[in-house]
Structure 1
Amino acid sequence: MIRLTMLRLDGTKNIRHGTIRLTHDPTIGSVTGIYGPNGTGKTTVIETIRTLRLLMLGAPLDGEQASMLVQRTPDPHEPRQATIHAEFLIDGTPTAYTVVLATDGSGLKPERETITIRKNGARKRTLIDCWMLQNTETGLLTPVTAPAGAWNSLTATAHTGDYLTQEAALAHSQHRSLLFSPGLRDRLTRLSGLLHSQTMLPAARGKALADNLDPLLHTLTRLNSYAEHGIRTVTTRQAASVCFGYTPFMHDGRFDILDIGRPCFVPAGMRMEIDRMIRQANTVLPTVIPGLTLHCDMKDDTDDEGHEGVRVFLYSQHDGTRIPFWAESEGIRRIIGILSLLVRMFNEPDTLIAVDELDSGIFEILLGDMLRTLANRGLGQLVFTAHNLRVLEVLDRRSIVFSTTDPDDRFVNPTGVHAGNNLRDMYIRAVSMGDGNGLASRTVRSHLAVALMQAGEDAE
């Protein structure tokens, strides 16, 4: 089992520093809700998880959207950096992955990556610490790895050092992780096999093999598989598509969108995925919205270029009445759009689902019942942001994180909550009275009224 247990963010968007601990307690489940005012870093947490997934896949960090993760500086030409520190439990072993991301106008690039483990209660041990060093004369970038003794001994074998330099330059130019590069992992796997096949190894190299190379390969493989098969994120960008007549849709491990306003043409390979989505929806929907089912008309067709595919039209049926799916409420479209992800979270232990603004358009009583069920019975992990405070009454206080107005300490856990206390009432009272330790900036209604009046006068 893998669990993401902690994120520490420095220099990401409007977060100068913030630490968020994610719930993974069998007694209260593995659901973490993040609450707070607008602009206090909630969405940044979801985007950070998305960036972590790309890094651990060895995939490029995608252009402008990824670059926006790094905090801006007054000088647009000044290089900017952000640090993400993620802690995991991998089969019970505490493991940490730290990455320093930099952007200089050409995009976001990993500049330094570190992986540490703490095995069997021993002290934390660095498996690898790798950063790029620029030659002042030639301008070329060279990877530097630590612990130096261990990796110098290992990379001296079978020209591994030369390959590491080449792969580092390629990964840097392609804006992706070096450590999670498939080519590097394959090379290190072959190196491990070569060393294990030798009957007489120098003591230093044998120790480096056992203490660094083999556990590093195991960690990289597990985290890469976790990112590929277990981590899924839904950002506000994807959620907004619902408002424009599209619904998010999982296909081949990534998000596509279905046009729900008219019959749309999709590749034939998506037919089975759409069938699965319909079956899942119709298993769960009637339990949360009685009488509602989802249906789909599909027929084989070809597009204007002669490609074979399927023409798809979604509609719902409510108490015998057929309604085009685009005419359904945003809340119903939202539920169906993320339903397959929630099904995975409920049934699969090695799953992390991160959803921004989970409560958008969903009736608060239904939202509370869904989250209580996922927390009490779900096998995977769910991280979400929301504004609807109903959830504060149904989840354990240890499952709640508050974002604050302090950019140097963005996340706090509820304190002083005792049995019988209503966390929702306590939160509202703290914010309203202005004694919430930075939980929110209080709005002065008289100031707001004057500002609205002045804005109206300016419009005349």
Structure 2
Amino acid sequence: MEYNQTVYKWWVQKMKESKVRIIAIKIENLKNVRQGDIQIPVHDEDSQASITAIFGQNGSGKTTVINALDILKTLISGNPLSESCRYLINMDAGKAKLTFEFTLEDPERRGKARAVYSFGLEILPGIDGESYLAVVDETLKAAVEAPNLSLRMQEILKTGKSSTLSPASKVKVLLNGVDPTDRIVEQKLAEKESRSFLFSPWMHNLFVHYGIAGDSRKASANTDSWMVQLILRLQNYGRRELFVISTRHSSVLSLGFLPLSFRVRNSEGEYFGSSLLKIDDSFSLPKELVEVHKKIIDELNFVLAEIVPGLELSIKVLDTHLDEEGTTIHKAQLVSLKNGKQLPLQYESEGIRKLITVLQLLICVYNQASVTVAIDELDAGIFEYLLGELVTLLQTHGKGQLIFTCHNLRPLETLSKVSNVFTTVNPERRYIRMKNIKEDNNVRKVYYRDIIVQDQEEVLYDSANTASLALAFRKAGKDIE
């Protein structure tokens, strides 16, 4: 027991700088996915990057994975879900459940922690007669692994009906001195606001105080404080290191805006988050943020010049003024430079603009081990050969984690077979990895073959009857004739 306490105390110090990876995703009753499990291989130390590509026909659950990760990011960051998330719940089931498993590895590779976070999404009736989306049945479990020692998975915290919180032994330690009435009120408020209670701002503030005041608590808190650090580490991961790019970004592009998600450092510190810059007009930003975006663009230009020879981006400052608070505001415009000639970015192709929106995050995946980037339809607007080159480079030399959906099958010819996940037509088993794939197989050709001969455990494609399709086209065009 003494050695166990030593391990726990050691993890308190290492948790803050540990590398976080998602290693499993389980989806139940989200959109058209009744049941779907994706296991993400844990690579050895010679292969740092983790790439997962999801392929399949339209409407088979690819985007649902990105939706699930977007929900995860929102909740562990302490933010409320948007009202539109209620429409992601399968209408027949009435309640969805999501489960995510993580590994947290210390920088010296001396040990790992594993964590499992699960929660439900349910529409509940409100007192005022209006229903609301609630995050229910949250459960966080974790275990610590160290050389010659693997401690069992234990339940850290679990929410229940009537604002209960268990297990009692953990609640007594982690919420020591907290008025139970205050906790119940905050728990009900989190439910009403469609946010996580375990990762709520209230819990965050409590745990930050716990870290400061830990020495004044009883001795057992010193060994249990690793649980506090685990929750804070996952929250930090959601806020600063997990990025989700949905198809909404492409929609925003068509409306004349450039959505940028980023994580950069400059002499002033670290900046992370997202911004929305006008493409077809000028925009105003504080001087500090203009400098941050110049740093982002400088990083982009290193890679962009290799992808599109002769192309560079720039922020052109058009005017400077002070606002009512005395802050320096720059009026600026995004421009592209080709062979020394300046052109507003709005006149570049949508493919180049799409590439710009994801490129800074791909740079993060290449360089930062604890960054996870999830992108829906990574291939949209990107030349297929270039797509294959990018994902191969990230898998071979990258450090972070990339999860993406794709219609283009080029990555099947370049990625390791363990990186590929395929959707099926079975809503009870939406995701599989193809079996009987040899090292020298062209996975793209095997996939095409299995679509036709249906040689896997599940049907991969609901083949259209050509004759019936032709008849449908003819009927649809009858009035036109």
Q: Scaled by the length of structure 1, what TM-score is found?
A: 0.88
Select the residue among 81, 104, 108 that pairs with 1:90: 104
Rounded to whole Å, the distance in 2 between the matches of 1:406 and 1:250 is 34
Select the residue among 260, 264, 275 that pairs with 1:249: 260
Query: Equivalent residue for 1:221?
Result: 232
What amino acid sits opposite 2:472 in the alignment? A
1:198, CA displacement in angstroms? 5.4
Asked if the contact 2:113/2:142 (under 8 Å) is kept, the reply is yes
Compare 218-227 and 248-257 and name the one that shifted more: 248-257
Query: Equivalent residue for 1:111?
Result: 136
Compare 227-236 and 427-436 and name the one that shifted more: 427-436
Q: Deviations over 1:323-352 (max 9, x none)?
A: 332121221111111111111111111111
Rounded to whole Å, the distance in 1 between the matches of 2:207 and 2:253 is 44
Query: Equivalent residue for 1:185?
Result: 204
Query: Equivalent residue for 1:443?
Result: 464
1:237 aligns with 2:237: no
Asked if the contact 1:24/1:31 (under 8 Å) is kept, the reply is no
What amino acid sits opposite 1:243 in the alignment? S
1:216, CA displacement in angstroms? 2.4
Give runs of aligned pairs for residues 59-458 of structure 1, distance below 5 A: 59-64=79-84, 66-73=85-92, 80-91=94-105, 92-104=112-124, 106-120=131-145, 121-133=150-162, 143-148=163-168, 150-151=169-170, 153-154=172-173, 157-188=176-207, 190=209, 196-197=215-216, 206=220, 209=221, 213-250=224-261, 253-301=272-320, 309-436=329-456, 437-458=458-479
1:401, CA displacement in angstroms? 0.5
1:312, CA displacement in angstroms? 2.2
Q: Deviations over 1:85-125 (max 9, x none)?
A: 10000122111011112124644221111111122323221
- Call closer, same or farther: CA 1:323–1:114 in 2, change over 3 Å: same
Identity of aligned residues (%): 29
Asked if the contact 2:243/2:261 (under 8 Å) is kept, the reply is no
Asked if the contact 1:434/1:442 (under 8 Å) is kept, the reply is no
- Call closer, same or farther: CA 1:156–1:255 in 2, change over 3 Å: closer
1:382, CA displacement in angstroms? 0.6
Asked if the contact 2:35/2:430 (under 8 Å) is kept, the reply is yes
- Call closer, same or farther: CA 1:164–1:417 in 2, change over 3 Å: same
Q: Deviations over 1:61-104 (max 9, x none)?
A: 1112x222211239xxxxx3111110000122111011112124
- Call closer, same or farther: CA 1:123–1:198 in 2, change over 3 Å: closer
Rounded to whole Å, the distance in 2 between the matches of 1:198 and 1:350 is 32
- Call closer, same or farther: CA 1:18–1:452 in 2, change over 3 Å: same
Q: Deviations over 1:162-211 (max 9, x none)?
A: 33212212212222111112322333554677675356x7xxxx4xx467
Aligned-partner SS, 2:24 = strand
Asked if the contact 1:49/1:233 (under 8 Å) is kept, the reply is yes
Q: Scaled by the length of structure 2, what TM-score is found?
A: 0.84
Q: Deviations over 1:391-439 (max 9, x none)?
A: 0000001011111111110100121110210000000111133445321
Rounded to whole Å, the distance in 2 between the matches of 1:86 and 1:276 is 34
Q: Deviations over 1:3-58 (max 9, x none)?
A: 01111011111111100122441455311111111111111111111111111111
Rounded to whole Å, the distance in 1 between the matches of 2:316 and 2:209 is 50
Rounded to whole Å, the distance in 2 between the matches of 1:321 and 1:100 is 54
Asked if the contact 2:20/2:104 (under 8 Å) is kept, the reply is yes
* Aligned-residue RMSD, C-alpha: 2.5
1:288, CA displacement in angstroms? 1.5
- Call closer, same or farther: CA 1:387–1:299 in 2, change over 3 Å: same
Aligned-partner SS, 1:300 = strand
Compare 21-30 and 162-171 and name the one that shifted more: 21-30
What amino acid sits opposite 2:459 in the alignment? G
Rounded to whole Å, the distance in 2 between the matches of 1:165 and 1:434 is 53
1:308, CA displacement in angstroms? 5.5
1:379, CA displacement in angstroms? 1.1
Aligned-partner SS, 1:438 = coil
- Call closer, same or farther: CA 1:107–1:458 in 2, change over 3 Å: farther
Q: Deviations over 1:119-176 (max 9, x none)?
A: 232322111212232xxxxxxxxx222223x146448852442332122122122221
Rounded to whole Å, the distance in 1 between the matches of 2:72 and 2:445 is 35
Runs of 4+ with >6 A deviation: 192-195, 303-307
Rounded to whole Å, the distance in 1 between the matches of 2:171 and 2:165 is 8
Rounded to whole Å, the distance in 2 between the matches of 1:445 and 1:403 is 22
Rounded to whole Å, the distance in 1 between the matches of 2:479 and 2:276 is 42
Rounded to whole Å, the distance in 2 between the matches of 1:311 and 1:289 is 28
